[in-house]
Chain A
Amino acid sequence: MAYTVERKPLTLLERIYIPQILAGMRVTLKHLFAPNVTMQYPEERPAIPSGYRGVPTLVMDPHGREKCVSCQLCEFVCPPKAIRITPGEIPPDAPTGHVEKAPKAFDIDMLRCIYCGLCQEVCPEEAIFLQNQYSMTGYTRAEMVNDKARLYELGGTLPDQHFKWDKKKAAAEHGNAH
C-alpha cells in the first residue's frame, strides 16, 4: 500500500542550521569523553556465547574413540562442498572393530566453508561440531585445509550421553540383533 511520508517544512531555526549544528556538536563532545566501545582485539578476546558456530571440528568420545563413522552424510549435505572424506575400514581385531568404519582421510577446506552448521546438524553420530574457534589464518591455500589430525586437535573430546556403539557391542554379545 502506498504510504506517504509527510514532510513538514523546516522551521526558521532549522533552516539557519546553526542551532542544529551546535546541538550536534554537543553530542559529539559528549562522545569525546565517553569510554571507548571497542575491544583491543589480540589482547582482549570476545566472550563466545554458547551455540556459536565457529570452525567445524571432529570430536572424540570420552573413551578416546573417534566418533565419525565416515557415513559421508556431511560431505553430501555441505553446500559449498568443503568436505572431502576417504572412508576406511577398522580392522575387526581392533578394540573398536565392531564399529566397522572410520574415515581414512577427512579434509575440510576452510576457504570454502561457509560456517552454515549443516554438517553438525546432519551427522548421525554427533561427531562433527562447529566450536568456538573463530580465527583461521594461513599463508597458503594448503594451510587453510584442515586435515583429519588437525580436525581432531581442534575438536578435542566432548561428553557423550549415549555411548551408542558400546551398547550395540554389549547387545551383540548378549545375542540380541540390535
Chain B
Amino acid sequence: MTAVFTFWAGLHPLIQGLIKGLAVIGVMFPIGGACSLVERKVSAWMQGRPGPNRALPPWLAWVPGIGLLQRLGLFHLMADGIKMFLKEDSLPGHVNKFYFLLAPVVGMIPALTTVTVVPFGAYFDSAGQMVPLVLANLDVGILAVFAVGSLGVYSLILAGWASNSKYPFLGGIRASAQLISYELAMTLSVVPVFLMINAPGGTGTLSLTDVVRFQSGTSGLHGTWFIMTMPLSAVVFLVSLFAETNRLPFDMAEGEADLVGGFHTEYGSMKWGLFFVAEYSHMLIGSGVFTLLFLGGWNPLPWVPLQTVIGWLAHLSPLLAHPLAVGLISIGIFMGKVLFFMFVFMWVRWTVPRFRYDQVMKLGWQKLLPLAIGNLIFYAIVIAVLQK
C-alpha cells in the first residue's frame, strides 16, 4: 500500500494529472450513459410501462440471475452504444461540412473542461485540514464553471447554423437566446453565496471548495446549508440550471413537437451521441455545482459535517479514518446527492410539459432576473448587517 503511495508521489505532476483526469472521465462517461438508460426506465415507470426489458445477448442467457439485469434493461444500454458506433455516419450534402463536424466536438469541450474545477470529495491531512479532491483547485472556481460552461451554447449555434436547414437553424437561434437570458439570472443568484463566505478583511475567494468549507461547521450559521439560508437563490439557480442544460420544461432548442429535433435534426450516429453525452455531462456538472453551493457538498447532513462522521467511524475501525477511506466516503456522499439531482431532472422532465418560447423568455427576463436582483440586494443588506 505505502509502496503505491510513494510510487504515486514520485510521478511527474503532469502524469498524475493525466491519470486523475482519465479516471474522472472514466467515471463520468459511464454515468452519462447509465443516465440515458435510467431516463428511459424512469419515464417508463412514471407512465405505467415496464420500459426496456428485452435485450439479452444469447450467450449470456445461462447465467443465473441475469433475468433481473435483463428486466432492468442493462443490455439495452450496451445495444444502444453499439448501435450508435456502428450506424452509418451519414453526412447530409447540404451542410457546411467543417462546422457541421466541429459542432459536436465543441459541445464536448466545455463539458469536459468544467469538470476539472468541480471538487467531488475531500479528505483530511495529518493536521486535520480539509484537502479537496479536485482536478484543478482554482481560486476562481465558480467563474471558471460559468465562463467555460456557457461556451457550450456555441456548439448548439454552430450545429444549427452549419446544418443549413430550417429547423436546426430555429433551434440554434432559440438556444442562443435562451441560454444567454438565463445565464444572467443564474450568475446573479449565486452572488449572495459568495458575499456570505467572503468576510470583509479576509482573502477573497470564488473557490467552490471554500463554499463547502463554509458549510462544514457544526453549529450556528456555519453548519447550515445555503439552501436553508438562501432558498430563493437556490430556486432561481435550479430553474436557470434547467434552462441552461436544455432540459424540459425548457428544451426550446430541441422541441420535438415544433422543431423535429431542433439543432441536432441533421445529426446521426455518434455525432448525435456526442450531443447527448455533452447534455448529460452538463447535467452532471450542474447538479454537482448545485450540490456544492446549496447542499453542503460532501457533508452528510446540516450541522453534521464529514469530519464529525469520520470521527464516529474512526471509533469503529481506525482503517475508516485513513485518507483513502475518507476520500471514498466523501465521494460517495457527494455522488449520492448528485445522482439524486439527476433523478430530479428526469422527474421534472416527465412531470412538466414544455413551456412556449415566449413564456420561456418572459420567465427569464421578467421574473427570474428581477427576482435574482432583488434577492441579491436583500442578501447584500443582510450580510452587511451581519458581518459588520
Contacts and interface: CB of A to CB of B under 8 A. Distances in A.
Interface of A: 18, 21, 24-25, 27-29, 31-38, 40
B351 A18 contact: no
Interface string B330-350: 000000000000000001101
B260 to A, nearest CB: 26
Given A27-B351, A28-B350, A38-B49, 7 more contacts: A21-B348, A24-B351, A31-B45, A34-B48, A36-B50, A38-B50, A40-B50
A40 B51 CA distance: 11
Nearest to A15: B367
Interface of B: 42, 45-50, 235, 347-348, 350-352
A28 B50 contact: no
Contacts of A27: 351
A21 B48 contact: no
18 contacts: A18-B235, A21-B348, A21-B351, A25-B351, A27-B351, A28-B347, A31-B45, A32-B42, A32-B45, A34-B48, A35-B48, A36-B45, A36-B48, A36-B49, A36-B50, A37-B48, A37-B49, A40-B50
Contact of B352 (A21, A29, A35, A40): A21
B48 A28 contact: no
Nearest to B42: A32
A11 to B, nearest CB: 16
Contacts of A32: 42, 45-46
A36 to B, nearest CB: 5
A4 B129 CA distance: 69
Given A18-B235, A25-B347, A31 B47 contact: yes
A65 B261 CA distance: 60
A122 to B, nearest CB: 41
A25 B48 contact: no
Nearest to A38: B49
* In the complex, the 7 A-B pairs of residues with the closest C-beta atoms, listed nearest first: A37-B48, A24-B351, A28-B351, A28-B46, A32-B45, A31-B46, A25-B351
Contacts of B42: 32
Interface centre among B42, B235, B351 (most CB of A within 10 A): B351
Nearest to B51: A36
A152 to B, nearest CB: 36
A32 B43 CA distance: 8
Contacts of A21: 348, 351-352
B213 to A, nearest CB: 30
B269 to A, nearest CB: 28
Nearest to A24: B351
Contacts of B347: 25, 28-29
A144 to B, nearest CB: 27
Contacts of A40: 50
A33 B347 CA distance: 13
A124 B245 CA distance: 67
A26 to B, nearest CB: 9
B109 to A, nearest CB: 33
Nearest to B367: A16
